[in-house]
Structure formats: structure tokens, C-alpha cells
């Protein structure tokens, strides 16, 4: 328990403010007393009772409870052997996020379903260090993204200045290039530092056939057995994340020259060509209409390039409804801009959901986001879009939501979509995001207190002449009917605010809901200061009294700043 005084110089005079002693809120004291039957020491059996009855952790044994207690006590008093908690020990335990965090840190979703059954952590222009116009291209942002658990890396491929090599850069801008080989080698080295599940490289290909052949040689040499190559006899389904562990997949549009070479007759009717090739490759080319500048008369690419494409891609040009038609054969990846998604959601909402039950939908930021901002991902997720591409080098509320979603499932980068997005009714109907459903469950959130700002911030960071005035805002984001926000009162002049306030959130689609938590410091004359944030997937919340670590604006976890909260579902 810490206490003391802090001095602030104000108008030439020193003012002293008492630092609040960190003490358990009444609920913690009450829980401790109930579990110990009023005794002053909490035994392993008492602690087990707490974990089961108040934290909802079923199946906990006394031995497991004792093991946790020993870890905590060794952390608090390394040189003393004890086997019971005092109230203060118990309170200290509650603030250890690696033992008492708000969500589980383990992979626990079924990972054996096909790829389209998952939301996948997806980057946009993954090589950019900053804005979309003139920042440097580098392998460093790719490495950072992989460390964070991102599973989809986007590379834009262009001929280098001498036309004999391949650069990665944002085309038609002043961004400085980075060599493709450097990017690929970095992906190989760091692909699985955070997660064993597959990395998908989406290629925006602006290459000549000869350079495509170089790409084939390069990826084959660099990745070797790590590279997933589909075979003609593959089943009519994407593989699962489990089956693709420690593999890398390429996803791009198959070049037309390669298709024509495989068919062996460039003069045939194109519809017959596509039919023959669909049979040969077990894929559907009905919507492969995007022109990415890779047609050079008289030249043909070698077969290897197309054989290395694990997920075939397409773009919806003018015929959006046609592009969303679910055709025969293997699934494909369709890319839509955020504006096109908004249009499709308004006009073809259930078609989007039906499309994503077999195919993969990627949604990318509009071109006017030159400062690398991001769009809100919820509209895409509620329509089943697996790849919501975000500028990971940016920051802001939309990226906080992305971080929140992919804290799910142990942070492995793959989150199993809710069953209702993958199922069909008796009349072949699918989930309609426009329908307002009944409340499915209610989440009660109690914000007890906060701590750690005096450790992570300078004494005068928030106010020059007094301790900070903190408040907490709670935002529920999800389907439109679930969106709401709440706010605690402001606690004046205290580095360790105690709110002890409860809020209720009725939820219609809790499977897609995110609880965004933002702490701010009230300022009368200026904009309120930022004091920390986090975003948590509601479906993953562990019930009971939990500690919630906060992060800075870029999503980096603070060392000490935390909230003590309680989550209860009804």
C-alpha cells in the first residue's frame, strides 16, 4: 500500500497534495471475508472458492489454486515461504494482469474449419512507415506487424528503375521503394514469432510476365517447404488454419497470359477458356476482370507463378452484384474499398454474408486516407468480411477496435466467426445485419479504481499545479442497436482515482461487441488529456473482478497504468 505527499509549485508557493493510499474497495474486502469465512488469512481452499464462485473459473483444483498463490507470494516476498494470502496479498494478486487479466491468453477457438470461417488480422500497405504519399517503404513495419500477430501482409509489386528487378512501393506516389527480396526474407524470419498460424501475403501485382517468373523463383527459394501450393486434386474448400500451421500463402490475381498458356490456345473463346481452366485448376474465374497492367503481347509467364497462388483474387469493378454471386468450384478472395462495402451493405447486405460463407472478402481503406488513418471495421465484420485491412503504422479509434478484436483467441491472429454468420436457415436465409434482434444477454461493468499513472507519467504531465482529475468513458461498439457510451464522474486531484460505479449494457449481438475503455483527465480550459485506452472483445471477457491494463494511443501497453473492474453477464 503506497501513500505520501506530492508537492506542486503554484504562484510561487508550494502546495502539497496527499497521495491516496492504495486500498481495496469495499467489494474486494467483502469477497475476501466471504471466501475466508471472516478469517484474516486466505488458504488455498479459500482461494479456490473465490476462483470458482466469484471468477467463474470452473474445474479449479486446490493444487492449482495453491500454485497461483505461490507465484504471487514469491513475487511479493521472494525470500519468505508462505501458503496463504492476507487481504493485502489478495488485493495485490488482483492487479497482476498475467494471472488475473480480463481475457484468456490461450488459443481456444476451433482452428480446424476452412479459412473463410475466420476473421483474420490484416494489414494494408504493410511496407509503409508512415503516410501513403511520401513515406519510406521498409521491411521494418512488416516485422512490427508480425510481432503484433498480424497474419495478412500486403505487398505492392512494381518493376524497379532498371526494369530487371522487383520493388515494393505504393504506386504512383513518392514513396521510396524497398526490394521485394528483403521483404520476403523478413516475413520468413518473423512470420511465426507471435503465432503459429498461416501468414497470407496479398500481392498487388504490376509486373511483366518475366518479372512474375522471377517472383516465382524468389518465393520458392526463400520459403521452400513453408510455401503452401494448392494441388489440382485439392477438395473444394480452403484449408484450415490448423492444417496450414507454419505455412505461408500467396494471394493475387492469376495472370491471363499464364491461363492462356495452360490452355494452349489463345484464340479460343474466352468463356470456353475460363471453363477449361476452371476444371484444370478447380477455381472460378467468372469475376477475374481486374486489369493490373501485366499483359505484354508476345510474352508468356512460366507455369510456376500461377501454381504458387494459394488463394486466387478478384476485384469487383462495375457489376458488384455479379461479383458477389457464389459460384461453383473453389472459393476466391474479393477485394472491396470501404466505400464499395458501404454501398454493398446498403443494397446487398445478405448477399455479402452469403458470399463470405464460401469466399474470402477483403476490405481496404479508401484512397483519400493519405495520412494512413483507418475506417471503422464493424460494418465489415457484421457482414462476414474476413480481411479488414488496416494501416498498422497509424493509430486512432478504428485501430483500437482492430486491436480489440484480435486480442481474442489468444492473440493468434485468427478469430472464429460467430456461427450465425456461417449458417443458413431452413429456407436458405442468412444473417441479416439490418434486423434489430432481441436482447440476448446483459453485461454489467463496475469500474472500481485506477492506478499507475504516477509511475508512467511525469508529475506535471496532466496538470502543472495539482494532481490529475481522471474519469473513465466506456463505449460499447458492435451492431448499431448495441452502440452506446457511459461515463464515470470526475475524481479531482488524485493519482489513484476510486470511482466504484456500475454500468449496464444490454446486448443483441454480443458475439460482435467490443468494449472500448478510455481514461481521460478533465481540463477546464483545454481539451481533456488522454490517460490510456484499451478495447476488449465482449465474447472473451472473463467474469469476476479483473485488472485491465491500459495502452497508449498507438496501442502500446503501459507498464503500470491499470483499472480494476468487474464483469458480470446476466
Closest CA to 510 of 447, 424, 437: 437
1 is a domain residue? no
428 is a domain residue? no
User: What DSSP element (H or E) covers 252?
Assistant: strand 248-252
328: exposed, middle or buried (Cβ count in 10 Å: 0-12, 13-18, 19+): exposed
The yes-or-no verdict on residue 4 having pLDDT over 70 is no
Regarding whether 127 and 66 lie in a shared domain, the answer is no
- Which residue among 46, 109, 117, 170 is the active-site one? 170
Q: What whole-number distance in Å separates Cα of residue 15 and Cα of residue 6?
A: 8
Range of the domain at 56: 26-94
| Number of domain units in the chain | 3
The reply to whether the predicted model has a pTM over 0.75 is yes
pLDDT at res. 237: 86
End residue of a domain, out of 398, 421, 444: 421
454 is a domain residue? yes
CATH number reported for the structural domain that contains residue 370 in this entry: 3.20.20.190
* Confidence band of 92 (pLDDT split at 50, 70, 90): very high
Examine the residue annotation and report whether 109 is marked as an active-site residue of this protein: no
Lowest mean pLDDT segment, chosen from 19-23, 57-61, 393-397: 19-23
Q: What is the three-state SS of 327-370?
A: CCCCCCEEEEEHHHHHHHHHHCHHHHHHHHCCCEEEEECCCCCC
10 is a domain residue? no
pLDDT at res. 253: 93
Examine the residue annotation and report whether 170 is marked as an active-site residue of this protein: yes
107 is a domain residue? no
pLDDT at res. 289: 33
Percent of the residues in the chain that have a pLDDT greater than 90, as a whole number: 80
Mean pLDDT score, 210-225: 95
106 is a domain residue? no
The model's pLDDT over 152-192, given as tens digits with 9 standing for 90+, comes to 999 999 999 999 999 999 999 999 999 999 999 999 999 99
Regarding whether 545 and 509 lie in a shared domain, the answer is yes
User: Please, what's the b/e burial string for 267-295 (b: 16 or more CB within 10 A of its CB; e: otherwise)?
Assistant: eeeeeebbebbbeebbbbbbbbeeebebe
Regarding whether 303 and 196 lie in a shared domain, the answer is yes
Regarding whether 509 and 368 lie in a shared domain, the answer is no
pLDDT at res. 18: 63
Regarding whether 454 and 379 lie in a shared domain, the answer is no
Q: How far is the first Cα of the chain from the last one, in angstroms, to the nearest whole number?
A: 34
The yes-or-no verdict on residue 402 having pLDDT over 50 is yes
Q: What whole-number distance in Å separates Cα of residue 152 and Cα of residue 148?
A: 12
pLDDT at res. 272: 42
7 is a domain residue? no
- Which residue among 124, 312, 383, 403 is the active-site one? 124
CATH number reported for the structural domain that contains residue 494 in this entry: 2.60.40.150
* Confidence band of 301 (pLDDT split at 50, 70, 90): very low
Mean pLDDT score, 21-45: 95
Q: What whole-number distance in Å separates Cα of residue 73 and Cα of residue 80?
A: 8
CATH number reported for the structural domain that contains residue 65 in this entry: 1.10.238
Q: Is 423 helix (H, G, I), strand (E, B) or coil?
A: coil
- Given a contact cutoff of 8 angstroms between Cβ atoms, the answer to whether 143 and 186 are in contact is yes
Regarding whether 499 and 370 lie in a shared domain, the answer is no
Regarding whether 478 and 361 lie in a shared domain, the answer is no
Going 92 to 94 to 100 to 102, the CA torsion angle's sign is: negative
Amino acid at each position: 500500500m503506497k501513500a505520501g505527499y506530492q508537492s506542486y509549485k503554484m504562484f510561487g508557493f508550494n502546495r502539497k497534495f496527499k497521495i491516496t493510499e492504495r486500498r481495496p474497495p469495499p467489494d474486494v474486502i467483502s469477497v475476501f471475508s466471504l471466501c475466508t469465512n471472516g478469517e484474516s488469512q486466505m488458504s488455498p481452499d479459500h482461494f479456490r472458492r473465490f476462483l470458482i464462485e466469484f471468477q467463474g473459473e470452473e474445474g479449479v483444483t486446490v493444487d492449482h489454486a495453491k500454485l497461483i498463490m505461490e507465484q504471487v507470494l514469491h513475487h511479493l516476498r521472494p525470500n519468505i515461504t508462505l501458503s496463504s494470502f492476507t487481504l493485502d496479498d489478495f488485493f495485490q494478486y488482483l492487479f497482476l494482469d498475467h494471472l488475473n487479466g480480463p481475457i484468456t491468453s490461450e488459443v481456444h477457438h476451433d482452428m480446424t474449419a476452412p479459412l473463410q470461417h475466420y476473421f483474420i488480422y490484416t494489414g494494408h500497405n504493410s511496407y509503409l512507415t508512415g503516410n501513403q504519399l511520401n513515406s519510406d517503404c521498409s521491411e521494418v513495419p512488416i516485422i512490427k506487424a508480425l510481432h503484433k500477430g498480424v497474419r495478412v501482409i500486403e505487398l505492392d509489386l512494381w518493376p524497379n528503375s532498371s526494369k530487371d528487378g522487383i520493388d515494393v512501393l505504393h504506386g504512383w506516389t513518392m514513396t521510396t521503394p524497398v526490394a521485394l527480396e528483403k521483404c520476403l526474407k523478413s516475413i520468413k524470419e518473423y512470420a511465426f514469432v507471435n503465432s503459429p498460424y498461416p501468414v497470407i501475403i496479398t500481392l498487388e501485382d504490376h509486373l511483366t510476365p518475366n518479372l512474375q517468373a522471377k517472383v516465382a523463383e524468389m518465393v520458392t527459394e526463400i520459403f521452400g517447404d513453408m510455401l503452401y501450393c494448392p494441388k489440382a486434386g485439392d477438395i473444394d474448400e480452403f484449408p484450415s488454419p490448423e492444417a496450414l500451421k507454419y505455412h505461408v500463402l500467396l494471394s493475387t490475381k492469376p495472370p491471363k497470359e499464364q491461363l492462356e498458356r495452360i490452355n494452349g490456345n489463345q484464340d479460343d473463346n474466352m468463356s470456353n477458356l475460363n471453363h477449361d481452366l476452371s476444371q484444370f485448376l478447380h477455381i472460378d474465374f467468372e469475376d477475374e476482370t481486374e486489369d493490373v497492367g501485366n499483359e505484354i503481347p508476345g510474352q508468356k509467364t512460366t507455369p510456376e507463378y500461377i501454381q504458387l497462388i494459394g488463394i486466387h483474387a478478384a476485384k469487383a469493378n462495375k457489376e458488384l452484384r455479379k461479383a458477389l454471386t457464389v459460384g461453383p468450384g473453389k472459393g476466391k478472395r474479393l477485394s472491396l474499398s470501404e466505400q464499395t462495402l458501404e454501398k454493398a451493405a446498403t443494397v446487398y447486405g445478405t448477399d455479402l454474408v452469403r458470399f463470405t460463407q464460401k469466399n474470402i472478402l477483403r476490405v481496404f481503406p479508401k484512397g483519400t486516407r493519405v495520412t494512413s488513418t483507418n475506417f471503422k471495421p464493424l460494418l465489415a465484420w457484421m457482414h462476414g468480411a474476413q480481411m479488414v485491412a488496416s494501416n498498422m503504422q497509424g493509430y486512432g479509434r478504428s485501430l483500437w477496435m482492430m486491436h480489440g478484436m484480435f486480442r481474442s483467441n489468444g492473440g493468434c491472429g485468427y478469430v472464429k466467426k460467430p456461427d450465425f454468420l456461417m449458417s443458413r436457415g431452413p429456407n436458405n436465409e442468412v444473417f441479416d445485419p439490418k434486423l434489430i434482434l432481441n436482447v440476448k444477454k446483459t453485461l454489467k461493468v463496475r469500474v472500481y479504481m485506477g492506478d499507475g499513472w504516477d509511475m508512467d507519467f511525469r508529475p506535471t504531465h496532466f496538470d502543472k499545479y495539482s494532481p490529475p482529475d481522471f474519469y473513465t468513458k466506456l463505449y460499447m461498439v458492435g451492431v448499431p442497436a448495441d452502440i452506446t457510451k457511459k461515463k464515470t464522474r470526475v475524481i479531482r486531484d488524485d493519482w489513484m482515482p476510486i470511482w466504484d460505479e456500475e454500468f449496464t449494457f444490454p446486448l443483441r449481438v454480443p458475439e460482435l461487441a467490443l468494449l472500448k475503455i478510455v481514461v481521460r483527465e478533465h481540463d477546464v480550459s483545454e481539451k481533456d488529456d488522454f490517460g490510456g485506452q484499451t478495447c476488449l472483445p465482449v465474447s472473451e471477457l472473463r467474469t469476476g473482478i479483473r485488472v485491465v491494463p491500459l495502452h497508449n494511443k498507438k496501442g502500446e501497453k503501459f507498464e503500470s497504468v491499470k483499472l480494476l473492474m468487474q464483469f458480470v453477464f446476466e
